[in-house]
Structure 1
Amino acid sequence: MENNTTENNTLNGKLHLQSNGNVILKNEGAIPTSNESSSTNNSTIEQNHPDSDMKTWEEVSISVPWGLVCGKWWGPRNKQPIIAIHGWQDNAGTFDRLIPLLTPKHPVLCIDLPGHGKSSKYPQGMHYYLFWDGISLIRRIVRKHQWKNVILLGHSLGGALAFMYAACFPNEVDKYISIDIPGPSVRCLKKQAAITGHSIDKFLDYEELPESKIPSYTYNEVIELVLHAYDGSVDKQGVEILMKRGMNPVPQHLDREGYAFARDLRLKVSGLGMFSKEQVLSYAERIKCKVLNIRAEPGMKFDVYDEIIDHIKTSAEVVIMHKVPGTHHIHLVNPERIYKFINEFLEM
């Protein structure tokens, strides 16, 4: 992408340093609970960037029953973080351009959802039920670290998960920020019934695909393929950021060079465990916290967007909505258009 301003050129230069690992940490015990501060004395840290707190990040991992949930911790380690959740088939890198613009008052933990980025895939035989799984994962992390008055930040699927968590645990969320989605995707019940069989067969096809048959590409082929798949929602520089966690070298035992996608192929089957409109509206009415919704225009098509927001307003303490010109990935492509809204909201 061609940068349009000096500010963006400077920012992107800093992010290049960060995303190459200016801080490396793998020490689950360093994640603070609500009652204690973190300590990194036993951690391996490589600090190359002397800039302010929100300009540096640390690689973290959290143990879960099926392996690890990995992520990037931005800012100081001695405070409870905002939990940031990416969209479907993206990863924690989706916030790399936004987080350095946010207030340093709140550290941010950006997680890779299961099967995404560097996080462990589910075992063979297990389906991904994207919305329901995500609620449980957030809850698992919150309970593990005894965090209170949680703040959530989500894009697309991540925004829907913030919505659902706030609805399921209405007295435990202080506020959440949702980028270009009002809640879970709504499915017509007849359409859902019609695609279930096909979805199950596709899931099994992906599960049975031998490792030797998984496609591999050159670096440039990956970038161009993903850029085309996003269909204008993400620029080339954004794709390169996402692919730092989104692809891996082909395993040596396959005796070929190139890269393969890091995410679990089974994630492509996303049609199971979806919601009806009535379900989404019922959850919306349970939300009590402060809500910031940023809708990109043209963004992502969502027919009942305003209706869901109206139902949230019936019970939420505060609902603020901003419509901003941009693509569905506005936080990654044009973070300068939205960060002030988020900072103002965080100060409320």
Structure 2
Amino acid sequence: MSSNIANGHHLKEEQLPPGVIVHEIEIPVPWGHVAGRWWGPRDKQPIIAIHGWQDNAGTWDNLVPLLPVTTSMLCIDLPGHGLSTHNPKGMLYYIFWDGIILLRRIVKHFGWSKISLMGHSLGGALSFMYAASFPEDVDRIICIDIASPAVRDPKTTCKQTGWSIDKVLEYEELPEDKIPCYEYEAMIDIVFDAYKGSISRENCKILMKRGMSPTPAHMKKQGYHFKRDPRLKAAGLAMMSIDTALEYASKLKCKVLNIRAIPGQKWERLDYYLDVIEKMKETTEVRYIEVEGTHHVQLDSPETIAPLIEEFLEEY
């Protein structure tokens, strides 16, 4: 069992419900490792769970213990997030596409053939993209508050390209002494404000167990800093048009559970979300369910969606 930051001063063992087990694991990749939390039995193939943009595997910490203890689930930190190695200097994050390659690496590492995926936000988009790219290799996907990668008008994408590239280069050269450090409670305040009500302050602490770490001694600063790679902020190069999203949607063959939170994410074009759902229905079974909750419904009100997920996993 892993030790985690419990408050600003000391580490303590996780308190888990009876029968619930979780192991911290590392999966080797060419530039370092991908960290993960493997919940439940290690002798059965897990569902791979993928968090949202700038979050980490802690996003599932409240949900997984509500599922049957026999559920095996591997919750990963995407590169540059949580405890995973950052992309090498000189490389950018092309977030939707990077994620599909990463999932393929993980599947090949373990030698799995058919897989099941669960994702929130960016993670749900990756589940969708992987299932569309390898339709014969996926049994089922669960997508939470997203249907496909962020759909943008090509004019917007075109306009943002120059800015995104300059931002990547700016963050790449960020000197260590410019990395902001804060006291623990101040750090949690910053995170809470940034999520604009999508996550409670208490749940920000859960996410920050993997999202922040004590400032290294050589930096001669007190407090904590964010672990995630600042280059992740310049992710505007990864968007797609609705035509592209619908083309991918037409390739899915697996069972789909799509849970949309209301009010959830404020979509630029909700019709695009629903168009993707309708397109998937032409080729596969899609269960689309709306629930009350914030965009981070799996972290903030997991009891709302746990029964839906359990039912879907039992049925298929």
Could you state the TM-score of these two structures normalised by the residue count of structure 2?
Answer: 0.94
> Is residue 136 of structure 2 the alignment partner of residue 168 of structure 1?
no
> Residue type of the partner of 1:95?
W
Report the more deviating stretch, 103-112 or 213-222: 103-112
- Quote how far apart the aligned CAs of 1:57 are: 0.6
1:273 matched to which residue of 2?
238
- Quote how far apart the aligned CAs of 1:148 are: 2.2
1:308 matched to which residue of 2?
276
- Quote how far apart the aligned CAs of 1:47 are: 10
**1:347 partner SS:** helix
**1:205 partner SS:** helix
Alignment check: 8 A CA contact 2:58 2:206 kept: yes
- Quote how far apart the aligned CAs of 1:104 are: 3.0
Q: Which residue, out of 195, 198, 206, partners 1:241?
A: 206
% identity of equivalent residues? 55
- Give me the CA root mean square deviation: 1.6
After TM superposition, which residue ranges in structure 1, 4 or more long, deviate above 6 angstroms? 46-50
- Quote how far apart the aligned CAs of 1:20 are: 3.9
Alignment check: 8 A CA contact 1:151 1:176 kept: yes
Could you state the TM-score of these two structures normalised by the residue count of structure 1?
Answer: 0.85
**2:99 partner SS:** helix
> Residue type of the partner of 2:229?
D
CA–CA separation in structure 1 for the residues paired with 2:312 and 2:160 = 40
1:122 matched to which residue of 2?
87
| Runs of 5+ consecutive residues of structure 2 not aligned to the other structure | 6-12
CA–CA separation in structure 2 for the residues paired with 1:50 and 1:199 = 44
- Quote how far apart the aligned CAs of 1:149 are: 1.7
Q: Which residue, out of 298, 309, 312, partners 1:331?
A: 298
- Quote how far apart the aligned CAs of 1:66 are: 0.6
2:154 matched to which residue of 1?
189
**1:51 partner SS:** coil
1:347 matched to which residue of 2?
314
- Quote how far apart the aligned CAs of 1:157 are: 0.2
1:10 matched to which residue of 2?
none
Alignment check: 8 A CA contact 1:58 1:74 kept: yes
CA–CA separation in structure 1 for the residues paired with 2:109 and 2:120 = 24
CA–CA separation in structure 2 for the residues paired with 1:215 and 1:145 = 38
CA–CA separation in structure 2 for the residues paired with 1:62 and 1:144 = 8
CA–CA separation in structure 2 for the residues paired with 1:307 and 1:47 = 42
2:177 matched to which residue of 1?
212
CA–CA separation in structure 2 for the residues paired with 1:96 and 1:331 = 9
> Residue type of the partner of 1:138?
L
CA–CA separation in structure 1 for the residues paired with 2:15 and 2:201 = 26
Alignment check: 8 A CA contact 1:284 1:311 kept: yes
**1:243 partner SS:** helix
**2:225 partner SS:** strand
Alignment check: 8 A CA contact 2:4 2:14 kept: no
> Is residue 36 of structure 2 the alignment partner of residue 71 of structure 1?
yes
Q: Deviations over 1:20-39 (max 9, x none)?
A: 49xxxxxxxxxxxxxxxxxx
1:254 matched to which residue of 2?
219
2:143 matched to which residue of 1?
178
CA–CA separation in structure 2 for the residues paired with 1:339 and 1:47 = 21
> Residue type of the partner of 2:61?
D
Q: Which residue, out of 270, 274, 293, partners 2:258?
A: 293
Alignment check: 8 A CA contact 1:79 1:106 kept: no
**1:280 partner SS:** helix
